[in-house]
């Protein structure tokens, strides 16, 4: 009986650690946009640049489309063309505010109960260009409503990311050559 109690305590502690780590949503020094209008953010965004990681490896022509679900969460539909496998790939997930819905500090999940940070840290007044930070300095995206971004906005976003601690020389600039 004592062993069962100890196993239960260890399991509960493990769940607390996993839960706590999955709610760490923004890198130190980064600040999420506030006020943030989720309705204006919905729709399709083109990935202009990103830090490469295994789920987007070998992808170009990447888009992210956000739509509001009936339950109030945001459907996340990421698509990209795998130029090594010569095929389109898609991942469907969900996002929701960490706490304040008027703050661009979200958590996103593609795998059940496991969430990661998604933080809009810069956006223009017309919601055409966005700089998005993950939960650490390993994740960064520059997004646009078009397949390009003006040089002055690109320069501003790169400077902001560098000031937070991102090594922007590691960005992959995404090609948009397919429809």
d(CA 52, CA 172): 7
- Which of 161, 128, 133, 158 is closest to 144 using CA atoms? 128
Q: Where are the domains of the chain?
A: 2-173
Q: Percent of the chain at pLDDT above 70?
A: 87
Tens of pLDDT, residue by residue over 96-138, are 999 999 999 999 999 888 899 999 999 999 999 999 999 999 9
Q: Which residue has the higher pLDDT, 25 or 161?
A: 161
Tell whether the model's pLDDT for residue 5 goes beyond 70.
Answer: no
Going through 15-128 in order, the beta strands assigned E by DSSP cover 43-51, 59-68, 74-82, 87-97, 105-111, 114-123
Tell whether the model's pLDDT for residue 9 goes beyond 60.
Answer: no
The residues that bridge with 51 in the sheet, in sequence order, are 171
Phi, psi of 20 (to 5 degrees): -65, -40
Compute the Cα dihedral for 27, 29, 35, 39 and give only its sign.
negative
Q: How many CA atoms lie within 13 A of 63 on its CB side?
A: 15
Tens of pLDDT, residue by residue over 48-68, are 999 998 889 999 999 999 999
* Structure tokens belonging to residue 12: 């509960």
Q: Is it true that domain 2-173 has CATH number 2.40.37.10?
A: no
Q: pTM of the prediction?
A: 0.86
Mean pLDDT over residues 56-85, rounded? 96
Check residue 179 and give its pLDDT.
75
Mean pLDDT over residues 74-86, rounded? 97
Q: Which residue has the higher pLDDT, 158 or 13?
A: 158
Going by pLDDT thresholds of 50, 70 and 90, the confidence category of residue 24 is low
């Amino acid at each position: 009986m004592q062993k069962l109690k100890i196993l239960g305590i260890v399991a509960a502690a493990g769940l607390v650690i996993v839960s706590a780590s999955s709610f760490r949503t923004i890198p130190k020094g980064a600040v999420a946009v506030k006020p943030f209008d989720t309705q204006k953010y919905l729709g399709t965004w083109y990935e202009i640049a990103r830090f490469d990681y295994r789920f987007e490896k070998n992808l170009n022509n990447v888009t992210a489309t956000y739509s509001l679900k009936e339950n109030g969460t945001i459907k996340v539909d990421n698509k990209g063309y795998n130029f090594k496998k010569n095929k389109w790939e898609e991942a469907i997930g969900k996002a929701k505010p960490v706490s304040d819905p008027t703050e661009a500090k979200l958590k996103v999940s593609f795998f059940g109960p496991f969430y990661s940070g998604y933080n809009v840290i810069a956006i223009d007044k017309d919601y055409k260009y966005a700089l998005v930070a993950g939960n650490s300095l390993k994740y960064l995206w520059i997004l646009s409503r078009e397949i390009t971004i003006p040089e002055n906005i690109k320069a501003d976003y790169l400077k902001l990311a560098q000031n937070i601690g991102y090594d922007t020389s590691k960005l992959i600039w995404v090609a948009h050559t397919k429809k």
